Structure 1
């Protein structure tokens, strides 16, 4: 099995950044509690009000199951609610 990597780039208005960052710990806790195969996540701030969320999954199947669940828990929903628009969403494979 290979580690799947979810790469999601999105925009957040400056006035919502504090809400996004405040929601992050609860989102991670919800992923740990409810998303089988979740391994780790990193949030990167980019220029121009854009962010990149790098999420590692045990497998592509785990990522797919998580994606279908959507914002089904309060912490995940609060994080998603702070996002203004999706720029890109891709899946890759982590290489050693």
Structure 2
């Protein structure tokens, strides 16, 4: 079985890093209840205020459907609001 992987790299100011981690649980809970095909996610802190979010989806269609919803729920909005800059986003396949 293949899995679709979303790779999102973004920047967060150092004063909001703790808030980002605290908001993560609400975002994951909203994804679990509202996003069909959501399999899980990992958040990686990189250097210089950059972060990498690795999200696994059952299929490309599930990932696409999630993107159309954006920050539609409070937990997702709270997490997204802490992001200062989107660096890149990519889609791949885990084999």
> How many residues of Structure 1 are paired with residues of Structure 2 in the alignment?
95
- Give 1:18-57 correspondences, 5 Å limit: 18-57=18-57
Q: Distance in 1 between matches of 2:52 and 2:18?
A: 16
Offset of residue 2 of structure 1 = 2.5
- Give 1:1-96 correspondences, 5 Å limit: 2-95=2-95
Q: Distance in 1 between matches of 2:47 and 2:29?
A: 27
- Where 1:48 maps in the other structure, the secondary structure is coil
| TM-score, normalization by structure 1 | 0.97
Compute the RMSD of aligned alpha carbons.
0.8
Q: For residues 10-67 of structure 1, what are the alpha-carbon distances to aligned partners after superposition, in whole Å with 9 as ceiling and x for unaligned? A: 0000011111111000100000000000001000000110000000000000000000
| TM-score, normalization by structure 2 | 0.98
Q: Where do 5+ consecutive residues of structure 2 fail to align? A: none
